Amino acid sequence: MAEKVIIIGSGPAGLTAAIYTARANLEPLCIEGEEPGGQLMITSDVENYPGFAEGITGPALMEIQRKQAERFGTKFITANVTKVDFSSRPFKVWVGDKEYQSHSIIISTGATAKYLGLESEKKLMGRGVSACATCDGAFFKNVEVAVVGGGDTAMEEATFLTRFATKVHILHRREEFRASKIMADRALQHPKIQVHWNTEVVEVLGDKAVNQLKLNNTKDGSKSTLDVEGLFIAIGHKPNTSIFEGQLDMNETGYLVTQPDSTYTSVEGVFAAGDVQDHVYRQAVTAAGTGCMAAIDAERWLEAKEIG
Ligand code: NDP
């Protein structure tokens, strides 16, 4: 028998969609992924999620949201969706060989921040290494930090970090920014920002927290070190949309396209929420907000189709 709604993904977007659809008696099935919880699972302290005056850790926040979704009857499967077919109704979703059917789908598979791929970067993740200045910038008051990247995100993050840090070093592997001129100029002219051209990070040093970077000059191979307490990686994000290729409209960087003021994708009955369709805000609270929107859109759509 087909489900009324299957939710794919279990970050704040997916779990909020689960809470809302469960409370609407749609008995959602949430296929939460092999590593449930999304990007917040690698975030130490969350101070900007409303409702937690003292702050909360990312994993604790996701545990609470999951419990809340479970309380109203959400069913969970801890596995990755491997294939989908949205070409006919009910829609089909596979986990390996097992096929599930559903009248509506909410996609909340999120995006993954790109990292440099260094062992030491991984080790110090959440202990000085971050991929989100909006989330973690406030932890770096009156210290020096570095931002890696040369695109708009790097410029934006570096400029934002000047509110807290005494100095922000932008480390870019080439000698020209990819960022738009206006954002690059803003960073270049900022008195607290120093740009290091032709520079790559080869190691992140620190025992319990970041305290130094080992750098390599990409032009002449010379080595140097830089003392910083924070390292912000701003080299782009990748939306988790490969299984939807050819089935749903995406923009040129792979984000699902939703219709304005809604969570409707290019296939009627398939909705998208959170970072998988948002490359601009990328916050837990905005993901939760669009998760709520997707649940309401799905509920109204099912009702109009007289399902559920
Ligand atoms: P981009 O892909 O535009 O830039 C990524 C940057 O990271 C590039 O400078 C790239 O270097 C560098 N980089 C990539 N991989 C590595 C690596 N392994 N090591 C070191 N450096 C690396 O990503 P963004 O996130 O900056 O932007 C994504 C999109 O979002 C863009 O279209 C951007 O315009 C948009 N955006 C707009 C904003 C706004 O208008 N307010 C704010 C933020 C983003 P290289 O240049 O050498 O390739």
Using one digit for the tens of pLDDT, what is the confidence trace for 285-298?
999 999 999 999 99
Cα(20)–Cα(16) distance, rounded to whole angstroms? 6
Name the token pair of 71.
């309380």
pTM for this model (two decimals): 0.82
Identified catalytic residue from 135, 275, 278, 297: 135
Q: Which run of H or of E encompasses 70?
A: helix 58-71
Strand-strand pairing, 270-272 and 98-107: parallel
Cα(228)–Cα(144) distance, rounded to whole angstroms? 5
Annotation says 30 is catalytic: no
Averaged pLDDT for residues 35-56: 89
* pLDDT over 80 (residue 43): no
Taking the centre of ligand 1 as the mean of its atom positions, its distance from the CA of residue 126, in whole angstroms, is 21
Atom of ligand 1 nearest to the CA of 180: 34
The confidence band for 174, taking pLDDT boundaries of 50, 70 and 90, is very high
Atom of ligand 1 nearest to the CA of 156: 42
* pLDDT over 80 (residue 21): yes
Atom of ligand 1 nearest to the CA of 279: 30
Q: Is 258 left (phi over 0), alpha (psi -120 to 50) or beta?
A: beta
> Look-up: residue for tokens 């970050």?
11
Taking the centre of ligand 1 as the mean of its atom positions, its distance from the CA of residue 15, in whole angstroms, is 29
pLDDT at residue number 39: 87
Domain residue ranges in the chain: 3-112+237-304, 115-233
Task: Compute φ and ψ for 276, nearest 5 degrees.
Answer: -65, -20
User: Whose Cα sits closest to atom 32 in ligand 1?
Assistant: 152
User: Whose Cα sits closest to atom 22 in ligand 1?
Assistant: 235
Indicate the burial class of 118 (C-beta count within 10 angstroms; 0-12, 13-18, 19 or more). Answer: middle
Averaged pLDDT for residues 248-269: 97
Q: Is 115-233 in CATH node 3.50.50.60?
A: yes
The confidence band for 284, taking pLDDT boundaries of 50, 70 and 90, is very high
pLDDT at residue number 34: 94
Enumerate residues 6+ apart whose C-beta is below 8 A from 44. Answer: 57, 58, 126, 127, 136
* pLDDT over 90 (residue 304): yes
Q: Report the mean per-residue pLDDT for the chain.
A: 96
Name the token pair of 150.
């040369």
Beta strands in 153-208 (DSSP E): 167-171, 193-196, 199-205
Q: What is the Cα 131 distance to its own chain's centre?
A: 9
pLDDT at residue number 272: 98
Averaged pLDDT for residues 180-205: 97
The confidence band for 165, taking pLDDT boundaries of 50, 70 and 90, is very high
- Beta-carbon neighbour count of residue 39 at 10 Å? 23
Any atom of ligand 1 within 6 Å of the Cβ of 167:
no
Taking the centre of ligand 1 as the mean of its atom positions, its distance from the CA of residue 173, in whole angstroms, is 12
* pLDDT over 90 (residue 254): yes
Annotation says 132 is catalytic: yes
User: Whose Cα sits closest to atom 34 in ligand 1?
Assistant: 152
pLDDT at residue number 135: 87
Pick from 118, 152, 159 the residue to mutate for probing ligand 1's pocket: most ligand atoms within 8 Å of its CB: 152
Q: What is 6-50 written as a DSSP string? A: EEE--SHHHHHHHHHHHHTT---EEE--SSTTGGGGG--EE--ST
pLDDT at residue number 105: 98
Domains 3-112+237-304 and 115-233 share a fold: yes
| 8 Å CB contact between 148 and 235 | yes
pLDDT at residue number 41: 86
Atom of ligand 1 nearest to the CA of 172: 21
Averaged pLDDT for residues 96-107: 98
The confidence band for 46, taking pLDDT boundaries of 50, 70 and 90, is confident
- Beta-carbon neighbour count of residue 154 at 10 Å? 27
Identified catalytic residue from 136, 275, 278, 297: 136
Any atom of ligand 1 within 6 Å of the Cβ of 239:
no
Cα(286)–Cα(290) distance, rounded to whole angstroms? 6
Averaged pLDDT for residues 127-140: 93
Range scoring the smallest mean pLDDT among 41-45, 118-122, 160-164: 41-45
Determine the residue type at 136.
D
Taking the centre of ligand 1 as the mean of its atom positions, its distance from the CA of residue 155, in whole angstroms, is 9
pLDDT at residue number 142: 98
Query: pLDDT: is 237 or 87 the higher one?
Result: 87
pLDDT at residue number 16: 98
- Beta-carbon neighbour count of residue 204 at 10 Å? 26
* CATH top-level class of 3-112+237-304: alpha beta
Determine the residue type at 153.
T
User: Whose Cα sits closest to atom 18 in ligand 1?
Assistant: 116
Which residues does residue 256 pair with via DSSP β-bridges, in sequence order?
Answer: 250
> Look-up: residue for tokens 């930090």?
145
pLDDT at residue number 233: 97
User: Whose Cα sits closest to atom 5 in ligand 1?
Assistant: 235
pLDDT at residue number 239: 97
* pLDDT over 80 (residue 42): no
pLDDT at residue number 74: 98
Say what percent of the chain tops pLDDT 70.
99
Atom of ligand 1 nearest to the CA of 116: 18
Enumerate residues 6+ apart whose C-beta is below 8 A from 282. Answer: 111, 132, 134, 237, 275
Averaged pLDDT for residues 216-227: 98
Q: What is 41-67 written as a DSSP string? A: GG--EE--STT-TT-EEHHHHHHHHHH
pLDDT at residue number 134: 87
